[in-house]
């Protein structure tokens, strides 16, 4: 069988260093979401996070990206703090993420303005990014004039313009139709393979979680732990056809098994203690 794809372990460009999460603790009111949670992530990997609704997936990336404060614990990026690291974020709700009064192109350029780069450098950077993507969107339009998928593409471009070391994506394609979702997954892999930013993706879609990741973190219900880490050693890029390959299907089943076991374990524990 010919295998033209690449595997992550083959990549020379894999960045060294680690994301170290130690003793992460977060409560909302008196309910623990994370209690002394530890995790090491390699930089330059694509990690998907999958788990039951409300288990704290968004909270996790909000904590480790510095969007919401940590109660206790530390997060280090290759030894640096969150503030010393270039992070970008793609939100689930693209309708609220873009500035409606700015044209798409100005939305994309905005982070460079905040960084204080001069106009000329800003334009050159935007041009270079667009050349890399071959985007067929009229970027002189305002967000409301674009489709959902186009708006989310603009959000992703805005997130990439600073060449982040780490890109966080919280269910970025959940509001898009299936055709657009497949297209966006393809573009995101293209970005990843080309740039090797660390990608941390939250998804409630197991197919998507597996397709895009080199490993899937399976989370439990709260207080949240890692039920299992499932490696996805499948060649890149992974197109729609690869979703039906036997190795892909086997990995998906393994994830589903972990998920079902966790949900069942919780349900029986809940029944035994009389709580729901």
Ligand X SMILES: Nc1ncnc2c1ncn2[C@@H]1O[C@H](COP(=O)(O)OP(=O)(O)O)[C@@H](O)[C@H]1O
What residue ranges bind ligand X (CB under 6 A)? Answer: 28, 33, 53-59
Q: Contact at 8 Å (CB) between 115 and 180?
A: no
Min dist CB 113 to Mg ion, Å, is: 29
d(CA 276, CA 266): 9
Interface with Mg ion includes 58 (CB under 5 A)? yes
From ligand X, Mg ion, none, interface partner of 85 (C-beta below 5 to 8 A by class): none
For the CB of residue 134, give the shortest distance to ligand X in the complex, in Å.
Answer: 33
The CA dihedral of 22, 23, 28, 31, to the nearest 10 degrees, is: 140
Residue pair 14/44 in contact by the 8 Å Cβ criterion? yes
Contact of 63 with 24, CB cutoff 8 Å = yes
CB-wise, 126 or 159, nearer to Mg ion?
Answer: 159
Q: Phi and psi dihedrals of 102, rounded to 5?
A: -110, 140
Specify the residue, 57 or 185, whose C-beta has the smaller distance to ligand X.
57
∠ CA 74-75-78, nearest 5°, is 130
Smallest distance from the beta carbon of 264 to ligand X, in angstroms? 19
Q: Which of the ranges 51-59, 113-121, 139-147, 220-228 carries the binding residues for Mg ion, by CB under 5 A?
A: 51-59
d(CA 116, CA 253): 48
Q: How far is the CB of 62 from ligand X (least distance, A)?
A: 7
User: Is the Cβ of residue 28 or residue 99 nearer to ligand X in the bound state?
Assistant: 28
Residue 33: name its binding partner from Mg ion, ligand X, none (Cβ under 5 to 8 Å by kind).
ligand X
Kind of pairing, strands 166-170 and 18-28?
unpaired
Q: 46 or 60, CB closer to ligand X?
A: 60
CB of 56 to ligand X, least distance (A): 4
Cα 196 from Cα 33, distance rounded (Å): 30
Contact in structure between 92 and 170 (CB atoms under 8 Å): yes
Residue 201 touches which member of ligand X, Mg ion, none, C-beta under 5-8 Å by kind: none
Q: How far is the CB of 54 from ligand X (least distance, A)?
A: 4
The least CB distance from residue 222 to Mg ion, in Å, is 13
Residue number, 75 or 201, with CB nearest to Mg ion: 201
- Edge-to-edge order in the sheet of strand 166-170: 87-90, 166-170, 198-202, 46-50, 215-219, 226-231
Partner that binds at residue 153, options ligand X, Mg ion, none, CB closer than 5 to 8 Å by kind: none
Q: Which does 72 bind (CB under 5 to 8 A by kind): Mg ion, ligand X, none?
A: none
Query: Binds 28, which of Mg ion, ligand X, none (CB < 5 to 8 A, cut-off by type)?
Result: ligand X
Contacting residues for 67 by C-beta, under 8 A, at least 6 apart: 61, 89
Q: Whose Cβ is closer to ligand X: residue 32's or residue 132's? A: 32
Q: Which DSSP helix (H) or strand (E) runs through 203? A: none
Specify the residue, 161 or 258, whose C-beta has the smaller distance to ligand X. Answer: 258
Interaction partner, residue 231 (ligand X, Mg ion, none; CB < 5-8 Å by kind): none
> HSE on the CB side for 18, CA within 13 Å?
7
Give residues in contact with Mg ion (CB under 5 A).
Answer: 58
């Amino acid at each position: 069988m010919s295998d033209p794809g690449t595997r992550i372990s083959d990549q020379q460009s894999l960045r060294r260093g680690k994301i170290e999460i130690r003793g992460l603790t977060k409560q909302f009111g008196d309910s623990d979401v994370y209690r002394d949670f530890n995790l090491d992530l390699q930089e330059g990997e694509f990690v998907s996070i999958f788990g039951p609704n409300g288990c704290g997936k968004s909270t996790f990336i909000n904590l480790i990206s510095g969007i919401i404060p940590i109660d206790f614990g530390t997060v280090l990026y290759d030894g640096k703090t969150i503030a010393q690291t270039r992070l970008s974020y793609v939100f689930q709700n693209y309708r609220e993420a873009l500035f409606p009064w700015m044209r798409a192109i100005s939305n994309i350029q905005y982070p460079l303005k905040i960084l204080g780069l001069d106009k000329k450098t800003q334009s050159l950077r935007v041009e270079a990014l667009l050349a890399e993507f071959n985007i067929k969107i009229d970027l002189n339009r305002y967000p409301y004039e674009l489709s959902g998928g186009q708006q989310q593409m603009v959000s992703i471009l805005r997130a990439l313009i600073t060449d982040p070391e780490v890109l966080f994506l919280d269910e970025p394609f959940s509001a898009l139709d299936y055709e657009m979702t497949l297209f966006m997954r393809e573009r995101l892999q293209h970005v990843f393979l080309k740039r090797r930013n660390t990608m941390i993706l939250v998804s409630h879609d197991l197919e998507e979680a597996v397709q895009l990741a080199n490993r899937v973190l399976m989370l439990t219900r709260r207080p949240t732990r890692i039920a299992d880490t499932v490696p996805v050693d499948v060649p890149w890029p992974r197109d729609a056809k690869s979703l039906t390959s036997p190795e892909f299907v086997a990995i998906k089943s393994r994830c589903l098994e972990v998920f079902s076991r966790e949900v069942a374990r919780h349900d029986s524990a809940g029944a035994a203690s009389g709580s729901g």
